[in-house]
């Protein structure tokens, strides 16, 4: 599978969640407590975090995201600085393929020309995000936005596991296709999108992280899994290990994309390997 479908799976998994679903774990390590929330990056207006998540947040002295609020602001600028291309996409593919691309996107109310001066990896991301926006999804309704709003209101410290540059580097590493391959795969993804979303949504509704990770694995090759998930998880946990080594009794919350929680290099397994006790508060455990 190429980068388009891999990114689509991560995106869809994280915004297909119905209001009542929850991916939440309580991790105990010595006197420390870590609430680990699998987030939805974008959502709809009625997608609100549960009372359980709100309670977990209220108990937490700080919140750790993939990106801090400051790095989140930097990310948009860096994306377009590094994702701009001096060579148009349309000049790098056959006219027939670009015509199909324009026609398919226009059916979704999107103008292909808006992405013509972007590198393929950024074009793929922007098209998928634009599709989500046309369907009524927005980062404003995602879990991170809600948590950051709560934290701002209560002056709860917010931190990030990585920089905006780290995240962009991972996205670029996960995309090693020609322009033609990227467009072909994006077209295929758009064609099969509804069916794939339904399958992913069913797994999420069940709060089944194992089934979710099976779907993620089916949609990525090993290079993509390593770049977009495993290496980032390991880097994040290196920071967590430093805090685990401290002899405090703090309660903290981790709020990252749900695909980062499962599998052998997922955060939950890394916590387990470090000797932590884990209790499942997800929908599937209720």
On the 0-12 / 13-18 / 19+ scale of CB atoms within 10 A, 106 is exposed
Q: What is the pLDDT along the chain (286 residues), one digit of tens a residue?
A: 444 444 544 554 444 444 445 789 999 999 999 999 987 666 656 566 778 889 999 999 999 999 999 999 999 889 989 999 999 999 999 999 999 999 999 988 889 999 999 999 899 888 877 877 776 665 666 678 889 989 999 999 999 999 999 999 998 888 777 899 889 988 887 766 555 655 665 666 666 778 878 888 877 888 889 999 999 999 999 999 999 999 899 999 999 988 899 999 999 999 999 999 999 988 655 5
Residue 34 in 3-state DSSP? strand
b/e burial code for range 29-56 (CB count within 10 A of at least 16 → b): beebbbbbbbbbbbbbeebebbebbeeb
pLDDT of residue 271: 98
Helix locations, 27-68, DSSP H? 51-59
Residue 195 in 3-state DSSP? helix
> CA 255, 17, 72, 55 torsion: positive or negative?
negative
pLDDT of residue 220: 80
Per-position DSSP letters for 222-242, written without gaps between them: HHHHIIIIIHHHHHHHHHHHH
Q: Which residues contact 100 (CB under 8 A, 6 or more apart)?
A: 187
């Amino acid at each position: 599978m190429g980068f388009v479908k891999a990114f689509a799976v991560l995106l869809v998994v994280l915004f297909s969640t119905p209001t009542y679903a929850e991916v939440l774990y309580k991790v105990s390590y010595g006197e420390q407590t870590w609430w680990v929330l699998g987030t939805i990056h974008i959502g709809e207006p009625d997608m609100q975090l549960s009372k359980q998540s709100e309670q977990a947040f209220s108990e937490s002295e700080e919140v750790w995201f993939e990106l801090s609020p400051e790095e989140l602001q930097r990310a948009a600028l860096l994306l377009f600085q590094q994702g701009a291309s001096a060579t148009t996409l349309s000049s790098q593919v056959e006219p027939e393929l670009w015509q199909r691309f324009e026609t398919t996107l226009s059916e979704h109310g999107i103008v292909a020309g808006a992405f013509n001066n972007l590198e393929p990896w950024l074009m793929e991301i922007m098209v998928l995000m634009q599709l989500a926006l046309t369907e009524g999804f927005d980062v404003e309704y995602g879990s991170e936005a809600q948590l950051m709003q709560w934290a701002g209101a209560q002056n709860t410290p917010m931190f990030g596991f990585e920089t905006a540059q780290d995240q962009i580097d991972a996205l670029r590493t996960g995309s090693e296709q020609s322009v033609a391959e990227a467009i072909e795969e994006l077209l295929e993804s758009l064609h099969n999108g509804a069916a794939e979303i339904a399958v992913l949504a069913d797994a999420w509704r069940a709060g089944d992280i194992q089934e979710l990770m099976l779907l993620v694995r089916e949609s990525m090759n090993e290079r993509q899994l390593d770049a977009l998930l495993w290496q980032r998880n390991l880097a994040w946990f290196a920071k967590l290990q430093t805090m685990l080594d401290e002899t405090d009794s703090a309660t903290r919350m981790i709020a990252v994309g749900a695909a980062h929680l499962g599998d052998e290099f997922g955060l939950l397994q890394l916590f387990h390997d470090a000797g932590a006790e884990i209790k499942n508060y997800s929908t599937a455990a209720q």
